[in-house]
Amino acid sequence: MGNWFFESHKGFKYGYKINKVLYDKKSKFQRVRIAQTESHGRIMILDDIVMLTERFEFIYHEMMAHIPLFIHPGAENVLIIGGGDGGTLREVLKHRSVENVDMVEIDEKVLESSRIYLQSISSQFHNKRANIIVGDGIEFVKNKKEVYDIIMLDSSDPVGPAEGLFTAEFFCNCYRILKKDGIFIGQSESPFYLKEYFKNFYKRLKRIFPLTRPALTCIPDYPLSFWSFLYASKKYDPVKHFVKKRYRESRIKTQYYNEDIHLATFSMPNFAKDLLK
């Protein structure tokens, strides 16, 4: 890795000064690395893409977990597809209503590396309410019944092991195993980077769920920083059904998310609106 790791894209790249490589193994699916950087704490790299940095991971994980959990009036049973670092799980378990979280991660090396080297992120792996399954999310949703209040798709980019997670069939199964007022949320790439995926993901969800809305935020760890989530629901509108005081009353501690950010994130700039027309 030399002294610098570069995440390379067509025409641009991001460099991190590496003080030490802590973990470097090839799994069945990908190369998994954890490195200590000078400026961003420890970072996880899958193949040659930065999945998270300790410095900024809170933004992504808080948005993924708290947006649906502060909409749903009392989610008990949550499914996380992917999310093997544990950041989304950590945020979900801040909600006392949640009785069980199934987390289905395909790559045990992701779990292992995070368990050993990213302990502030994987801190809830041993929580009694967490049920960690090493397996394929696509197969998992095929064989389930209607049991979940919320499904979170916390996957890597739709190339490599995560490819099948962005198909109509997968979304249909998610719809089927969600309860009558269930909510789906997924990371959906960016209106600038892999924007065709963002667009297609939106269109597919829209065909399946009665309500689909994009959310946009700034995640400095990801290429070109603008990053999207897609929220889809059988019942609850993420803006109309949002009760602002619930966040404060919950006393849940967050660094990024709050009641104002929840609402702001559903405001789309014109270029993103145009893309989804």
Residues with catalytic roles: 154
Contacting residue, 133, 172, 268, 276, with a copy of itself by CB under 8 A: 268
| Span of 112-120, 122-130, 131-139, 253-261 interacting with a copy of itself by CB under 8 A | 253-261
- 143 lies in the site for a copy of itself, by CB under 8 A: no
* Residue ranges in 32-61 that form contacts with a copy of itself under rule CB under 8 A: 37-40, 59
Q: Which is nearer to a copy of itself, 73 or 269 (CB)?
A: 269
User: Cβ distance 79 to 148 under 8 Å?
Assistant: yes
| Greatest Cα pair distance in the chain | 52
Among positions 197-236, residues that touch a copy of itself (CB under 8 A) are 217-218, 220, 224-226
Closest CA to 217 of 104, 32, 56, 1: 56
Q: Does 242 bind a copy of itself (CB under 8 A)?
A: no
Residues from 4 through 23 that contact a copy of itself (CB under 8 A): 4, 6, 9-17
CA distance 212 to 228: 13
> Which CB atom, from 4 or from 131, has the smaller least distance to a copy of itself?
4
Describe the chain by its helix, strand, coil percentages, rounded to 5. Answer: 30, 30, 40
Structure token digits, residue 41: 């704490």
User: What track of x and - describes contact with a copy of itself for positions 163 through 202 (by CB under 8 A)?
Assistant: -----------------------------x----------
In angstroms, rounded to a whole number, what is the distance separating the alpha carbons of residues 239 and 250?
A: 18
Q: Find the shortest distance in angstroms from Cβ 159 to a copy of itself.
A: 19
- What gap in Å lies between CA 261 and CA 230, rounded to an integer? 16
User: Concatenated DSSP letters for 159-214?
Assistant: SGGGGGGGSHHHHHHHHHHEEEEEEEEEE---SSSSHHHHHHHHHHHHHHSSEEEE
Residues that bind a copy of itself (rule: CB under 8 A) add up to a total of: 39
Task: Report if residue 269 touches a copy of itself, rule: CB under 8 A.
Answer: yes
How far apart (Å, rounded) are the C-alpha atoms in residues 228 and 230? 7
Q: Which residues bind a copy of itself (CB under 8 A)?
A: 4, 6, 9-17, 37-40, 59, 192, 217-218, 220, 224-226, 254-258, 260-261, 263-265, 267-271, 273
